[in-house]
Structure formats: structure tokens, C-alpha cells
Amino acid sequence: MITQKTKYALKALIALAEEAAGAGEALTIEQISQRSGAPKRFLEHILLDLKRTGYLGSRRGRSGGYLLIKAPRQVSIGELLREVDGPIAPLPCLSRRAYQPCDDCADEESCRIRRLFGQVFYAYLLLIESLTLADLLESPERIERLAADAALPPV
């Protein structure tokens, strides 16, 4: 499950990407809040984090605000989830970037819980790693096709 913080980050990125496709001007926090429906008080911290991680740039002054500095095709949804929420693996022993052995597990190779959740997580990773911000902007059908290919039920 993604956090509310990630939902707000995605909504803000969508608003900024749509602006970049149009006039391409920087948007203020107030404008991003209005366009995305995300509360301004949460956006301030989220936008600073997205700037720090290299997704956004900012301009000062009268026409200042935030703007998307990566092309939507370069914004990986899987990477964004990790940047905003941290590790996305359901178990610490399945994480590629934040691996930790489970305290209560004597043998990872024979662990049935790890094996089951590893298979589920692998299917999830195949789908989530293939998605970009451009997919959210362009085509809900593409996401539905990917889910169908992965044998996932429609939402």
C-alpha cells in the first residue's frame, strides 16, 4: 500500500508534468495544490524532498515556483516509491537496497514465508518498475494491459 505522502507526490508530479507539456512555467505551491487536490501544508515538505532527489527544480522571484526537470518517461514510479516511502519490499530479507536478514529466520533458503512473498513481490516489481510518470499522463489502457499481462485483477 502506498502512503498518502506518495499519493500527494504523484499528484503534484502529474500537475507539474501537465504544465510542462503546456506553457512550461513554474508553478507555486498554491497552484500545485489547486491542480492536484493535495493540501498545501503537506506539499511544502514533499516538493522539497522531490527537489532534493532531483525530480524538480525551482525558480525564485515573481514567476517563481517548482518545475519538473526530468522528462515524464524518466520518472520511474518504482524509484519514486522508494524515494518517498523507503523500501517497498514486504519483508526486509527481500529488499534489494535495504536488505536485512529477518531476526526470527534461521534459514532464508527454506523459509516458506519468504518464498511466497518473494514470488508475489517479484510480480509486483515487474509491473511497478515498468511504469513511469508518462504512463500516468498518457494511457490508463497501458496500465490495464500490463496488469492483464501480469495476470493481476483489474482495479
Cα dist from 155 to 8, 53, 140, 143, 144, whole Å: 20, 30, 11, 10, 9
Please tell me which residue, 8 or 108, carries the higher pLDDT value. Answer: 8
Q: Of 19, 47, 68, which residue sits at a domain end?
A: 68
Question: What would the pLDDT profile of 13-64 be if each residue is shown by its tens digit?
Answer: 999 999 877 667 889 999 999 999 999 999 999 999 999 999 999 988 887 8
Q: 133 phi and psi, to 5 degrees?
A: -60, -35
Band (pLDDT 50/70/90 cuts) for residue 5 is very high
CATH number, domain containing residue 34: 1.10.10.10
In this predicted structure, the answer to whether residue 155 has a pLDDT above a threshold of 60 is no
- Rounded mean pLDDT, 144-148: 66
Kindly state whether residues 47 and 87 are assigned to the same domain.
no
pLDDT, position 63: 76
pTM for the complete prediction?
A: 0.80
What is d(CA 10, CA 7) in angstroms, rounded to the nearest whole number?
5
Question: What would the pLDDT profile of 121-140 be if each residue is shown by its tens digit?
Answer: 999 998 899 999 999 888 66
Kindly state whether residues 90 and 135 are assigned to the same domain.
yes
Question: What would the pLDDT profile of 78-90 be if each residue is shown by its tens digit?
Answer: 999 999 999 999 8
Kindly state whether residues 98 and 82 are assigned to the same domain.
yes
Counted domains in the chain: 2
